[in-house]
């Protein structure tokens, strides 16, 4: 389905019934498909709304992506909420989607019953740690891909796809080729989105001094073996939030809903029950 909101066509899918849970994917340059089918069982308890950010996936591309900011993507999410008539909702942001979820919570927090920040941080100012983690766990192919990822713009979607497939093993505690194949199978890649955020938006993203303004109950989910959003950085995020709790998945990297699906779903369901009762 396409929603014409905020000057863009936003692709979305709705699964289940109940309290709405809007899901923000990461990357950027990826799309919502890597969440599925792993999060789908939550549809027994909530209505899942998956969507692709503008300039990503199956959503429309901007004439001038340089004019697109985190505020744009937060405004898109709010416009989509209104378009779908969701009322109050829970928001889940994973990885870079967690950056955008923080931006949404800071601007539109009055519409949130809860915030789930999965494998995300408040600022990426620890690049030496990321490089050391990559060197400790990656092979030559991953290290070359890492150099490309942050060292040059991607030429097009296929170039980005090739880099991402080579880099992906770093993101897992126990990588299996079939996981990479499944993630790739339905994905629509966007080199433009990846290039834009890495060159212009990621370097200036920092919500640490603003997080005290977020009053929504927050669940932070972390991988014990996440090389790029390590536990100490997730803890730094939650220490700045006034109403947050952390669940760590010790046998997962950056995608615990894939590597420890049952434990991840159990943690989310328990927290949703907790905030429902509050």
What is the reported pLDDT for 263?
98
Contact indicator for 191, 159 with CB cutoff of 8 Å: yes
Domain that holds residue 133: 2-277
pLDDT in tens, 171-208: 999 999 999 999 999 999 999 999 999 999 999 999 99
Number of domains in the chain: 1
Contact indicator for 103, 207 with CB cutoff of 8 Å: yes
CA dist., res. 97 & res. 168, Å (int): 17
CA dist., res. 37 & res. 29, Å (int): 20
β-strand pairing of 8-15 with 2-5 = antiparallel
pLDDT in tens, 40-66: 999 999 999 999 999 999 999 999 999
What is the reported pLDDT for 26?
98
Say if pTM beats, i.e. exceeds, 0.85. yes
Contact indicator for 252, 223 with CB cutoff of 8 Å: yes
CATH of the domain at 141: 3.40.50.1820
């Amino acid at each position: 389905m396409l929603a014409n909101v905020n000057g863009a066509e936003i692709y979305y899918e709705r699964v289940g019934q109940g309290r709405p849970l809007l899901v923000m994917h990461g990357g950027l340059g990826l799309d919502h498909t890597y969440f599925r089918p792993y999060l789908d069982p939550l549809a027994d308890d909530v209505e899942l709304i998956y969507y692709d950010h503008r300039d990503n996936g199956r959503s429309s591309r901007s004439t001038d992506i340089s004019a697109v900011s985190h505020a744009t993507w937060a405004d898109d999410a709010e416009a989509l909420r209104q378009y779908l008539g969701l009322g109050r909702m829970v928001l889940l942001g994973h990885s870079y989607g967690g950056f955008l979820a923080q931006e949404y919570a800071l601007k539109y927090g009055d519409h949130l019953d809860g915030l789930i920040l999965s494998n995300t941080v408040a600022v990426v100012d620890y690049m030496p740690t990321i490089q050391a983690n990559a060197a400790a766990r990656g092979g030559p192919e991953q290290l070359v891909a890492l150099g490309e990822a942050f060292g040059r713009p991607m030429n097009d979607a296929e170039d980005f796809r090739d880099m991402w497939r080579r880099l992906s093993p770093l993101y897992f505690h126990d990588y299996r080729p079939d996981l990479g194949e499944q993630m790739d199978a339905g994905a629509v890649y966007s080199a433009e989105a990846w290039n834009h955020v890495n060159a212009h938006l990621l370097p200036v993203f920092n919500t640490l001094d603003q997080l005290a303004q977020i009053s929504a109950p927050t669940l932070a989910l972390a991988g014990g073996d996440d090389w790029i959003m390590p536990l100490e950085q997730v803890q730094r995020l939650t220490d700045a939030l006034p109403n947050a709790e952390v669940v760590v998945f010790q046998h997962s990297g950056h995608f615990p809903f894939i590597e420890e699906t049952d434990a991840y779903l159990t943690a989310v369901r328990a927290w949703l029950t907790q905030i429902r009762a509050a």
